[in-house]
Amino acid sequence: MIVEEYNQAVDLYSDAIFRFILKNCRDDDKAKDIVQDSYEKLWKNYKSVNFSKVKSYLFSIAYHTLIDSIRRDKKRGSWEEVNERSLSYSNSYTDLKELLNRALDQLPEKQKMVILMRDYEGYAYNEISEITGLSVAQVKVYIFRARKFLKTYIGKVEVLV
């Protein structure tokens, strides 16, 4: 088969192959992908395919590609079918709020005050500075130190959850 015959095969059979695949899979995008894959496989082997047999060759490739896709989708499964509770396991009780409160109680009073104002109340640095009478730089330092202490005290979140 020559390149002109390949182009003619695209013009003659692409719509018929698309309809054939679409009737079987009922997914427009998947059908387009399968048609494209079929023509790609034909292009890779166009020298060994006789033009008189190209229609059956294309339908055969499309059918086998559809079967492979269906098998792959069955193995893959669906996220809607997954029970998330069956995937997690916890044999210990962790109350994150209680742990966080204990960690906050370990902080010096000024650090506790500024970290709560910043992270819990959502105040900006300059607002915290005005409320507490500290400089903006000192507020940032206290927040940095408080977060650093909390990080080392609590540890990794993955361990807690």
- Output the pLDDT for position 20: 86
Whole-angstrom distance between the N-terminal and C-terminal Cα of the chain? 63
Is 87's pLDDT higher than 70? no
CB–CB of 48/38 below 8 Å?
A: no
Token digits of residue 7: 């182009």
Closest CA to 34 of 19, 45, 46: 19
- Report the predicted TM-score, pTM, of the whole model to 2 decimal places: 0.47
Quote the Cα angle for 22-27-28, to 5°: 75
CB–CB of 46/6 below 8 Å?
A: yes
Of the given ranges (27-31, 61-65, 75-79, 106-110), which has the lowest mean pLDDT? 75-79
pLDDT confidence tier of residue 77, bands split at 50, 70 and 90: low
Token digits of residue 4: 């002109």
Token digits of residue 2: 């020559």
CATH numbers and ranges of domains, the chain: 3-77 (1.10.1740), 96-160 (1.10.10.10)
Is 135's pLDDT higher than 90? yes
